[in-house]
A and B are shown apart, each in its own frame.
Chain A
Amino acid sequence: MKNLINFLIQYSVVFLFLFLEVISFTLIVKNQDYQKSVFLSSSNSVVSGMYEWSNSVVEFFKLRAANDNLSEENTALKNQIINLQNKLSTLKKDTPDSIHFRIPPEMEYQFIAAKVINCSTNKLLNYITLNKGTIDGVKPDMGVISDEGVVGIIKTVSDRFSVVIPILNNKLEISCKFKRNNYSGPLKWSGEDYRFANLNDIARHVELALGDTLVTSGFTNNFPVGVPVGYIEDFKIKESDAYYRIKVKLAVNFRTLSHVKVINYLNYKEQTDLEKKAEEQ
Chain B
Amino acid sequence: MPVVLQNIIRFILLVLFQVLVLSNIQFLGYINPYLYILIILALPVQMPRWLTLILAFGLGLIIDTFTNTMGMHAFATVLVAFLRNGIIKLFTSIEEGNNPTPSFYSFGVSAYVKYVVVLVLIHHSTLLMLEAFSFVNFGITLIKIILSTAVTVLMILGIQSLSKK
A-side residues, CB < 8 A to B, are 12-13, 16-17, 20-21, 23-28, 30-31, 37, 40-42, 44, 47, 50, 54, 120-125, 127, 163, 190-194
B79 contacts partner chain A, Cβ-Cβ < 8 Å: yes
Smallest CB gap from A121: residue in B: B26
Question: Which residues of B line the A interface, CB within 8 A?
Answer: 19-20, 23-24, 26, 29-32, 49-50, 53-54, 56-57, 60-61, 64-72, 74-75, 78-79, 82, 130-132, 137, 140
Secondary structure of the B contact surface, majority rule = helix
How many angstroms from the CA of A17 to the CA of B69 in the assembled complex?
Answer: 20
Cβ 8 A contact of B26, one of A16, A20, A44, A122: A122
Contact of B65 among A28, A40, A193 (CB under 8 A): A40
Contact A40–B61 (Cβ < 8 Å): yes
How far, in angstroms, from A37 to B131 measured CA to CA in the complex?
A: 17
CA distance A93 to B79 in the complex (A): 75
Cα–Cα distance between A40 and B72 once the two chains are bound (Å) = 13
Q: CA A21 – CA B70 in complex, angstroms?
A: 13
Which residues of the other chain, A, contact B140 by a CB distance below 8 angstroms? 191-192
Given A122-B29, A191-B137, also A20-B53 (CB < 8 A) = yes
Cα distance A125–B54 when bound, in Å? 26
For A13, give its contact among B24, B53, B72, B130 (CB under 8 Å). B53
Q: Do A42 and B50 have beta carbons less than 8 Å apart?
A: no
Q: List 25 A-B contacts (CB under 8 A).
A: A12-B50, A13-B82, A20-B56, A24-B57, A24-B72, A24-B74, A24-B78, A25-B75, A27-B70, A27-B74, A28-B72, A41-B68, A42-B65, A42-B68, A44-B65, A47-B65, A50-B20, A120-B67, A121-B29, A122-B29, A123-B32, A127-B68, A191-B140, A192-B29, A192-B140
Distance (whole angstroms) from the CB of A166 to the closest CB of chain B: 12
Task: Name the A residues within 8 Å of B78 (CB-CB).
Answer: 17, 20-21, 24
